[in-house]
Amino acid sequence: MARYIFITGGVVSSLGKGLMAASLGALLQARGYKVRIRKFDPYLNVDPGTMSPYQHGEVYVTDDGAETDLDLGHYERFTGVSARQSDNVTSGRIYQQIITRERRGDYLGATVQVIPHVTDAIKAFALADQGDHDFILCEIGGTVGDIESLPFMEAIRQLRNELEPDQTLSVHVTLVPYIAAAGELKTKPTQHSVRELASLGIKPDILLCRAEHPIPESDRRKIAQFCNVRPEAVIPALDASSIYAVPLQYHGEGLDDEVLRGFGITDAPAPDLSRWYDIVDRYENPEGEVTIGVVGKYVGLQDAYKSLNEALVHGGMANRVKVKIKWIDAEVFEQDDDAIAAQLEPMHAILVPGGFGERGSEGKIASVRFARERNVPFFGICLGMQMACIEAARSAGNANASSTEFGPTDQPVVGLITEWMTAEGLQKREAGGDLGGTMRLGAYEAVLTGNSHVSGVYGGAARISERHRHRYEVNAAYREPLERDGLVFSGMSPDGLLPEIVERPDHPWFIGVQFHPELKSKPFAPHPLFAGFIAAALRQSRLV
């Protein structure tokens, strides 16, 4: 029987509910329990797939092809449990399902209402796909009081009544602000937030209080008294040295002990936190430093590249070096040629990440050219690989080489993919069809060339499985002329039709991949491509 932990937030957004859920999941795992973490998103989009990165941050993709909230990346990185389609739902998806059923006549003429139809659909989502997990953590997006989240709160209230008394627990994340003029912390925002939650019929069992300063014992007792919880259930959550220190910090404050006590579990094994001590040690005690230039188009919001940022940090952990990331707007290189050398020469390695649309593409191509000509380690991901192929074609004399994503071209080195094979059979897409959920999404295999650089990076593997999210592909018809110019296709789809990996054997480290390896990197298992990339940057740092 799975136990449910419902995680809500109040006062303000961005308090770190997702990180809290991931950390708690890791702590429960460290005690030998099996966990799964889910995210309920109140917005009306069916999924975040068509949302701007500036609106929502990155779109995290699961093995089974779901486009999900970036918090699922935290969940995977902290627990190692692969997320699934059933681990993220939005209001839009709930309403879409309900309206589809109503149109089919499934409700037999009944009036379709928020209660019971919407709340029943939310509860069904929460209870589905339990497997043999001991704990299922459910994070509710937004803050208490948001009109969008009310159906989810009502569904939680109902579930807490319908499940066994010792089967659910409510954790509420709040803010305890510090007022500098008064020189003290203020507990009133937390009190009001808990009162708002209680007005919806949900009594929190544990309060996780975000604060910039230590919370005195007197304030913890005050919060407990006014919010009707035990003083031990008021858990301080101060800023940590890194996100990977958070599990240890929460354990030190007794979060996992209090959760288990709330479920009446008194015989739980002690946690094995050696993995997290090693991670923190590698992060806080590096033996060197490298600087990576990331040339992208969404650099104004680092959450747009959240998994990429963390994967680079993991690569640093694997090499025991600190990774400094220099975020560079690709458009700058389109406006000022002198800026290319000025900004990229200090870099020990260059990475061009994924993206959509023409904006910044010429700047990315210029970055590829700089890395190729100067023998600077280069890593291209998704669109970054495509830009490397276009740059190779242009350097070979094809000045018109481009992508159909950027407009009509008579030299489509990159083009729209309309058919590809999956485990379910042939997938087809129309050029003018819907944008949402129509890309090549999820895990696909690639076959590696045996004597290639990338095969060595993967430890000699002949086949790999990586996650994709793209609508355009490198045109395999250009393989022969590109390979003559030195850009080798070292990874292909199993049917040999879709290029997955390119590399330059005569370069110190030059690899482009069509997939997104950052989505599978974890602090305790850095992705081999990022570990190898940072190792190459470290070698480069010793040359300059």
Q: What is the CATH number of the domain that holds 533?
A: 3.40.50.880
In a domain, 445, yes or no: no
Distance CA 238, CA 210 (A): 6
Same domain, residue pair 137 and 37: yes
Q: Report pLDDT digits (tens) over 419-439.
A: 545 555 555 555 555 455 567
Same domain, residue pair 71 and 107: yes
Known catalytic residue at 213 = no
Same domain, residue pair 133 and 246: yes
Same domain, residue pair 202 and 324: no
Domain of 483, in residue numbers: 289-415+473-541
Of 52-61, 141-150, 163-172, 187-196, least confident by mean pLDDT is 52-61
Predicted local confidence at residue 181, as pLDDT: 87
Known catalytic residue at 518 = yes
Catalytic pick among 348, 453, 516, 527: 516
Same domain, residue pair 295 and 217: no
Boundary-marking domain end, from 223, 258, 279: 279
Same domain, residue pair 351 and 234: no
According to DSSP, residue 109 is labeled T
Same domain, residue pair 481 and 353: yes
Predicted local confidence at residue 359, as pLDDT: 81
Same domain, residue pair 245 and 367: no
Of 102-106, 235-239, 327-331, least confident by mean pLDDT is 327-331
- Coil, strand or helix at 439: coil
Same domain, residue pair 47 and 166: yes
Predicted local confidence at residue 75, as pLDDT: 96
Q: Report pLDDT digits (tens) over 277-312.
A: 999 999 999 999 999 999 988 877 778 899 999 999
Question: Would you state the structure tokens that stand for residue 328, as one six-digit string?
Answer: 């560079």
pLDDT at 418 over 80: no
Same domain, residue pair 218 and 316: no
- Coil, strand or helix at 511: strand
Q: Give the total number of structural domains in the chain.
A: 2
In a domain, 401, yes or no: yes
In a domain, 461, yes or no: no
- Number of Cβ within a 10 Å radius of residue 80: 15
In a domain, 420, yes or no: no
Mean pLDDT over 215-243 rounds to 94
In a domain, 440, yes or no: no
Boundary-marking domain end, from 260, 279, 298: 279
Catalytic pick among 382, 405, 453, 500: 382
Catalytic pick among 139, 334, 405, 518: 518
Predicted local confidence at residue 420, as pLDDT: 44
Distance CA 393, CA 401 (A): 6
Mean pLDDT over 152-170 rounds to 95
pLDDT at 338 over 90: no
Q: Nearest 5 degrees, angle CA 317-CA 319-CA 325? A: 65
Known catalytic residue at 348 = no
Q: What is the CATH number of the domain that holds 80?
A: 3.40.50.300
Same domain, residue pair 484 and 528: yes
In a domain, 452, yes or no: no
In a domain, 163, yes or no: yes
Boundary-marking domain end, from 222, 245, 279: 279
Percent helix, strand and coil across the chain, each to the nearest 5 = 40, 25, 35
In a domain, 443, yes or no: no
Q: How far is CA 360 from CA 105, 293, 352, 363, in A?
A: 49, 15, 11, 5
Predicted local confidence at residue 435, as pLDDT: 52
Same domain, residue pair 311 and 260: no
